[in-house]
Structure 1
Amino acid sequence: MSALLIAGSPSERSRSAALLDAVAQRLSVRGALVDRVHIRNLSPQALLLADFAHPTVVNALDQVARARVLVVASPVYKAAYSGVLKVFLDLLPQTALKGKVVLPLATGGSPHHMLALDYALRPVLQSLGAKSILPGIYATDAQVALTPEGAYHLQDDIAKRLDEAVHVLFTETLRPTPAQVAHSAHFAPVHFSQVRCSV
């Protein structure tokens, strides 16, 4: 099953990207197929001009369409998610997230901006028809600390919340249901005239 990780930071390396990396690692360990969209790598002109025919936009929209689960991560600026993420979400068709499960992630300088997930990002995801939006995970700069080596380290409380979120994603969405397993185990019906017997 497939999960698409959408990086909404304008920076190549960021705390929100570190959260995505942690989710990707946890999903991969469980055997899920993980794909990514780095919005910063899409054509800026195509994004701003809503050029749906541009190859980078076409490919990104196809990735969204194929995924069953989306993990959307963004830094919080001015009490809202990033502008690059906003531009990308504006390009999605109105029902782009129909039948999909979404896990929102965000990072910010202080706890004061955590409501951006519920009051800014969640309504947009709902308007795009998401089947289910899991409780968002917000981390402050202190909870995703930059080490002297230049890597990011997640505090235990954030790591635990990511563990729980990935567990929910996998058990409720990515893992086949008993009904799906039973259906895949059935043979296609065969007409009686095609039955051959040997004695």
Structure 2
Amino acid sequence: MTNRTLAVVTAGLSQPSATRLLADRLAAATERASRDLGVTLDVTIIELRDHAHDLTDNLLTGFPSPALGAAIDTVVRADGLIAVTPIFTGSYSGLFKTFFDVLGKDALVGKPVLIAATAGTARHSLALDHALRPMFAYLRALVVPTGVFAAAEDWGTGDGASSRGLADRIDRAGGELSALIAAREQPAPADPFDNPTPFDQLLSGG
């Protein structure tokens, strides 16, 4: 089995939240599909509500706290990313956007990303393609074709058409993400001797 890492960023504000529930189901579907491809995923969940104050401080000072820095590093180093946000006023939440604002501009280049969102009604479903997908395209991430949107009625009792439709979308999106993660080339370990400091620079204290 090959080992890969998956970061899951969820911007739900309540505990428990539908946003976290969707994130967990997407992560589970991606793990199942990855196992079928011979890949074991090491999954890390990042709850942005736990970093809300640190994100504001980072915007004001330009420096992350140790906890926020660790969360950012997890996303940057991950082989794949699941990003889930509640929809407010027709778009992603401010907390969600702020996290990706403080990432480096090249942090997600070429990284496989699954986008997902939750809202009270299906009227907000276009936010996936009108808000989230353009943002990740700007960041040059590799977004999977299937975005997953879950309205309140999609959760249901588990035996209705809406619930089955959501389950199908989750499985399809998880399969697409797992395939991209499995196909992604692992970067070679950095060789500390690749770029030695010139001897004259060492003598000068540079």
| TM-score between the two structures when normalised by the length of structure 2 | 0.75
The residue aligned with 1:139 is 150
Once residues 36 and 140 of structure 1 are traced to their aligned partners in structure 2, the CA distance between those partners, rounded to angstroms, is 22
Percent identity of paired positions between Structure 1 and Structure 2? 30
State whether residues 94 and 127 of structure 1, in contact with CA within 8 Å, keep that contact through their aligned partners in structure 2.
no
Per-residue CA distance 1:36-87 (angstroms, 9 max, x = gap): 1111111x33211225231111101100111121111111111111111011
| Distance change in 2, residues 1:146/1:72 (3 Å) | farther
Q: Which residue of 1 aligns with 2:98?
A: 87
Q: Retained in 1: the 8 A contact 2:80–2:111?
A: yes
Q: 1:119 aligns with which of 115, 119, 130?
A: 130
Is 2:83 the partner of 1:75? no
SS in 1 for 2:153: coil
- Which one has the bigger helix percentage? 2
In structure 2, the CA distance between the partners of 1:73 and 1:53, relative to structure 1 (3 Å rule), is: closer
**Structure with max Cα Rg:** 1
- Secondary structure at the residue paired with 2:107? coil
The one-letter code matched in structure 1 to 2:48 is I
CA distance in 2, matches of 1:38, 1:107: 15
1:32 and 2:35 correspond: no
* Alignment check: 8 A CA contact 2:27 2:174 kept: no
2:68 corresponds to which letter in structure 1?
V
Q: Write the letter of the residue equivalent to 1:13.
A: P
Task: Structure 2: state its 5+ residue gaps.
Answer: 187-206
1:174 aligns with 2:181: yes
CA RMSD of superposed structures (Å):
2.2
User: How far 1:13 moved relative to its partner?
Assistant: 1.5
Question: Which of 170, 186, 201 is equivalent to 1:162?
Answer: 170
Give the letter for the 1:167 counterpart: G
Is 1:61 the counterpart of 2:68? The answer is no
User: Match of 2:115?
Assistant: 104
2:125–2:149 Cα contact (<8 Å) kept: yes
Contact kept in structure 2, 1:5 and 1:37, CA below 8 Å: yes
Q: For residue 115 of structure 1, what is the amino acid of its counterpart?
A: L
Structure 1, gaps ≥5 residues long:
148-153, 182-199
Give the deviation of 1:132 after TM superposition: 3.3
Q: Tell me which stretches of 4 or more aligned residues in structure 1 moved more than 4 Å.
A: none
